Amino acid sequence: MKKKLIALAAVGALIAGLAGCSSAPATSGGDAPAAKDLKDLVVGFAQVGAESGWRTANTKDIQDSFKEAGIELKFSDAQQKQENQIKAIRSYIQQKVDYIAFSPVVETGWDAVLNEAKAAGIPVILTDRAVDSKDESLYKTFLGSDFVAEGKKAGEWAKTEFADADSVKVVQLEGTTGAAPAIDRAEGFADVIKGDKKFDIVASQTGDFTRAGGRQVMEALLKSQPHIDLVYSHNDDMGLGAIEAIEAAGLTPGKDIKIITVDAVHDGMQALADGKINFIVECSPLLGKQLIDVIKTLNEGGTVEKRIVTEETTFTQEQAAEALPDRKY
């Protein structure tokens, strides 16, 4: 009889244990839920758009990284409209995805939707661009470049290049108004040149990070400005558009008007190697692997740094010619 009672107790314990595993997620000791199999994870990504070569490379790298990791990716393209990104994030919340990642098209206006994600218990990861929210609990980390440092690198090159000049008339092609890279690249460049009176930013206008935008702004500035020595463009694509405008005006880009851009995507690097751009500050779009690493760490109950800065360099015309054959994008 006693043996029977012990056996029944064991079976009862076994059934109770199985019921516990299959219903509420088992805890891993603390509050964090136990790690899910990667194949069971679903991540929603709200991309800015497809405005530039950088964005195209960024999207491809993210999609390839998720495919390689075997993690399901729901992806949306906001055509550079904040309301579309907010709609996409709300849709991911309704679908109860495990994580939300996005590149905020502009810095402001995110607290409401990020609080909705927080209330739903869905961790948010910022990639590429930052938000200006004071509440850092609204996202797990911001993974991306230091745009102020990028602007400073551009300014330092300009100071060296024009060391012997008495006057340098600069036009600045700004990225999307309100976007972190546009704000910070302008700040970094201004910080470096502000002490040097020869530099005069005679015009600064947004080309919205697109080649067409850069061409249109440059066409207008070539008509309105009596003299331009340097174009500082917040990305390659606007710089390539400016080249088209400069050549259409009968001038030689890289010589009559020097050009600095940011990104170092293939077409920019080719123009640099061809002598039409003078200096490029790299901004790496290859964030996919780091994003996967963040998700894996969080999935296993780990913690990540609030700020993960991507490594990047700069290129001269000689360095571009050498680097081009091995570039991934």
Report the interface residues with ligand GZL, using CB under 6 A. 51-52, 54-55, 128-129, 144-145, 181, 209, 235, 237, 262-263, 283
> Dihedral of the CA atoms 319, 322, 324, 327 (nearest 10)?
-90
- Residue 274's φ and ψ, nearest 5 degrees, are -80, -5
Range list of H helices, 108-235: 111-119, 147-161, 180-193, 211-224
Nearer to ligand GZL among residue 144 and residue 168 (C-beta): 144
Give the nearer residue to ligand GZL in terms of CB position, either 66 or 147: 147
CB of 121 to ligand GZL, least distance (A): 28
In terms of Cβ atoms closer than 10 Å to its own Cβ (0-12, 13-18, 19+), residue 167 is exposed
* Beta carbon of residue 58, minimum distance to ligand GZL (angstroms, whole number): 7
**Residue nearer to ligand GZL on the CB measure, 257 or 283:** 283
CA distances from 181 to 184, 188, 208, 233 (A): 5, 10, 11, 11
Residue nearest ligand GZL by beta-carbon distance = 54
Closest distance to ligand GZL from the beta carbon of 310 (Å): 9
State the Cα–Cα distance between residues 173 and 129, nearest whole angstrom: 18
Closest CB to ligand GZL among 122 and 242?
Answer: 242
C-alpha–C-alpha distance, residues 131 and 142, integer Å: 9
Residues 6+ apart with CB under 8 A from 149: 188
Using the minimum distance from each CB to ligand GZL, give the nearer residue, 52 or 206. Answer: 52
Shortest distance, position 272 Cβ to ligand GZL, whole Å: 15
Q: How far is the CB of 183 from ligand GZL (least distance, A)?
A: 11
